[in-house]
């Protein structure tokens, strides 16, 4: 199977879904709750439908894993889709969210694209070919010390049941880094590590669609991704750490007391 067709389809699906998201941003939405803090809007569903339909039109036998609909079982080629990563931001009119599509072949991520429709920023990577922002190659930052680093994090949906661990993690970093940010979109966070806007990112309990495309974008930009014990990051593991590589050991040291969290 030619990667050119995969890439073309992925970019078209991102563009189609992104257009739906962008054109409806700021408008009144029908909002439902999947959990106390986990929102879904009608635009999540419309964005996902547009992307999935286009992908299956070109690759009807491929598998699909998407956030808002049942998985589609097919071949060893799988598309992993988040129609709006940052739905809470989108629903509140806060302009940080993205559409994320990763492509996996036989369990190995091969391609990923993340579109920020409010900034017209398209991040894309293909295995072995580098990572790009709007066609220009990107690289992780060169920050060497955690004390000089801008770090980003997020808070899982179960934070009401288990706030102390997440607050403790925040306390650990608060006085050790230059500053901490929280955007509300894991895909954006990973892209910003890839292009050097952030030096490091940690978060618990991401879903596969939150990180699939971002993983390969960070890898191809020269970054490092692991769990809190230093093992390679997986789509299903609960611990997520992505850095420029240079501060990775320091961040692992800070997170060592949390390595058994699940």
Catalytic machinery residues: 67, 82, 84-85, 87, 210
Phi, psi for 151 (deg, rounded to 5): -115, 145
Phi, psi for 216 (deg, rounded to 5): -70, -30
Give the number of other Cβ atoms within 10 Å of residue 54's Cβ: 18
Give the number of other Cβ atoms within 10 Å of residue 108's Cβ: 9
Contact at 8 Å (CB) between 91 and 44?
A: no
Euclidean distance between CA atoms 163 and 74, whole angstroms = 39
Give the number of other Cβ atoms within 10 Å of residue 135's Cβ: 7
């Amino acid at each position: 199977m030619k990667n050119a067709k995969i890439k073309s389809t992925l970019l078209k699906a991102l563009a189609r879904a992104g257009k739906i998201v962008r054109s409806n941003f700021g408008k009144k939405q029908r909002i439902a709750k999947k959990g106390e803090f986990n929102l879904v809007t009608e635009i999540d569903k419309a964005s996902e439908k547009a992307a999935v339909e286009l992908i299956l039109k070109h690759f009807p036998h491929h598998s699909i894993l998407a956030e808002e609909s049942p998985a589609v079982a097919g071949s060893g080629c799988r598309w992993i889709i988040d129609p709006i990563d940052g739905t809470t931001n989108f629903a509140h009119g806060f302009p940080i969210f993205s559409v994320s599509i990763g492509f996996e072949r036989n369990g190995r991520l091969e391609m990923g694209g993340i579109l920020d429709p409010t900034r017209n920023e398209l991040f894309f990577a293909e295995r072995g070919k580098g990572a790009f922002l709007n066609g220009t190659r990107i690289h992780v930052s060169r920050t060497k010390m955690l004390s000089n680093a801008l770090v980003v994090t997020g808070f899982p949906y179960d934070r009401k049941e288990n706030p102390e661990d997440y607050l403790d993690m925040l306390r650990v970093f608060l006085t050790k880094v230059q500053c901490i940010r929280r955007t509300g979109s894991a895909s954006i966070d990973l892209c910003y590590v890839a292009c050097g806007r952030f030096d490091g990112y940690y978060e618990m309990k991401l879903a596969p669609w939150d990180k699939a495309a971002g993983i390969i974008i960070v890898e191809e930009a020269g970054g490092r991704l692991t769990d809190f014990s230093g093992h390679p990051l997986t789509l299903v593991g609960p611990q997520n750490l992505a850095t420029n590589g240079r501060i990775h050991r320091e961040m692992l040291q800070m997170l060592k007391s949390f390595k058994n969290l699940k």
